[in-house]
């Protein structure tokens, strides 16, 4: 228990130090942030602690982690209070929010998607497939990227931003489900069916499949 508390306190300290860099203007919006080894050396902590702290900042919406490209500062305005409010919602409230936000956005994506959106979605889905039967954290990161690209394909910046803030709740629910229940291939296959519906510009089918996935 003591080691767990120590780890948590180190992560909290790292998060606080990184927030100071943002408040003091040392990191600029849109800037690629120092790498994990650089931050570990700068803050005098382990790379694992840096990685956990960066995840906290990503869930709060301050940082965007781009697979294979590094981490970028998204905003200097800390949306932590909004994220904390979301984190306190019940499972049923989270499902209601996903139905209103995600399913409707996916319906718009079916009408507005571009060829570039489709390619980005195919790439994200392929990455998810590679990790579905493997490491939970890796799969969750890939799955969130796929769902974010689904919402982004609606080409409504407000919806995209809201979903980024809400994605921490989605991630927590997904991690819980994958840790407590057997992985279901049929559930994963719904992702591909949603992509097919978007490619065919079938908004109602895309929304219906999205609602089925949310309830699964």
pLDDT tens digit string along 2-25? Answer: 344 344 577 888 888 888 888 788
Q: Are 59 and 19 contained in the same domain? A: yes
Which domain, by its residues, includes 44?
Answer: 2-78
State residue 212's pLDDT score: 94
107, pLDDT greater than 90: yes
* Least confident span in 50-54, 60-64, 78-82, 212-216: 78-82
* Cross-strand partners of 136: none
76, pLDDT greater than 90: no
Report the residue count for the chain: 216
Q: Are 50 and 105 contained in the same domain? A: no
Q: Give the domain-ending residue among 78, 103, 135.
A: 78
Q: Are 107 and 190 contained in the same domain? A: yes
Q: Are 193 and 88 contained in the same domain? A: yes
Q: Are 61 and 22 contained in the same domain? A: yes
State residue 204's pLDDT score: 96
pLDDT category, 80, cuts 50, 70, 90?
Answer: low
Select from 169, 119, 115 the least CA-distant residue to 146: 119
pLDDT category, 147, cuts 50, 70, 90?
Answer: very high
Q: How far apart are CA 159 and CA 180, in angstroms?
A: 30
Q: Are 106 and 179 contained in the same domain? A: yes
Cα distances (Å, whole numbers) of residue 13 to 6, 7, 24, 56, 70: 10, 10, 16, 12, 21
Q: Are 95 and 59 contained in the same domain? A: no
Q: Are 52 and 15 contained in the same domain? A: yes
Q: How are the residues of the chain apportioned to helix, strand and coil, as percentages rounded to the nearest 5? A: 75, 5, 20
Q: Are 112 and 151 contained in the same domain? A: yes
For residue 52, the domain's CATH number is 1.10.10.10
State residue 1's pLDDT score: 39
Q: Are 198 and 98 contained in the same domain? A: yes
3-state secondary structure of 46: coil
138, pLDDT greater than 80: yes
Neighbours of 208 (CB within 10 A): 17
Mean pLDDT over 145-152 rounds to 93
Pick 114 or 65 by higher pLDDT.
Answer: 114
State residue 115's pLDDT score: 96
Q: Do 7 and 49 meet the contact criterion of CB atoms below 8 Å apart?
A: yes
State residue 199's pLDDT score: 96
Q: Are 130 and 184 contained in the same domain? A: yes
Q: Give the domain-ending residue among 29, 57, 78.
A: 78
Q: Measured on CA atoms in the order 48, 32, 102, 79, is the torsion positive or negative?
A: positive
202, pLDDT greater than 90: yes
Pick 6 or 125 by higher pLDDT.
Answer: 125
Neighbours of 170 (CB within 10 A): 21
State residue 119's pLDDT score: 95
Q: Mean pLDDT for the chain?
A: 84
Q: How far apart are CA 195 and CA 189, in angstroms?
A: 10
pLDDT category, 149, cuts 50, 70, 90?
Answer: very high
Q: How far apart are CA 34 and CA 57, in angstroms?
A: 14
85, pLDDT greater than 70: no
For residue 102, the domain's CATH number is 1.20.120.530
Q: How many domains does the chain have?
A: 2
pTM of the model: 0.62
Q: How far apart are CA 130 and CA 127, in angstroms?
A: 5
Q: Give the domain-ending residue among 53, 78, 103.
A: 78
Q: Are 44 and 58 contained in the same domain? A: yes
81, pLDDT greater than 60: no
3-state secondary structure of 165: helix
State residue 5's pLDDT score: 39
């Amino acid at each position: 228990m003591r080691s767990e508390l120590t780890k948590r306190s180190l992560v909290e300290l790292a998060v606080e130090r990184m927030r100071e860099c943002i408040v003091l203007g040392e990191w600029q919006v849109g800037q690629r942030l120092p790498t994990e080894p650089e931050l570990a050396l700068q803050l005098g902590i382990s790379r694992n602690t840096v990685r956990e702290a960066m995840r906290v900042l990503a869930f709060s919406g301050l940082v965007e982690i781009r697979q294979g490209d590094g981490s970028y500062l998204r905003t200097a305005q800390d949306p932590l209070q909004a994220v904390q409010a979301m984190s306190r919602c019940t499972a049923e409230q989270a499902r209601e929010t996903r139905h209103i936000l995600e399913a409707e956005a996916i319906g718009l994506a079916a009408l507005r998607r571009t060829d570039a959106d489709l390619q980005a979605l195919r790439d994200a889905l392929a990455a998810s497939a590679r990790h579905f039967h493997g490491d939970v954290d890796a799969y969750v990161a890939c799955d969130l990227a796929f769902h974010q690209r689904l919402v982004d394909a609606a080409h409504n910046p407000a919806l995209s931003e809201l979903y980024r803030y809400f994605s921490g709740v989605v991630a927590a629910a997904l991690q819980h489900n994958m840790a407590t229940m057997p992985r279901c291939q049929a559930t994963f296959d719904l992702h591909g069916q949603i992509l097919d519906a978007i490619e065919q510009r079938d908004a109602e089918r895309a929304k219906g499949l999205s609602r089925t996935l949310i309830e699964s």
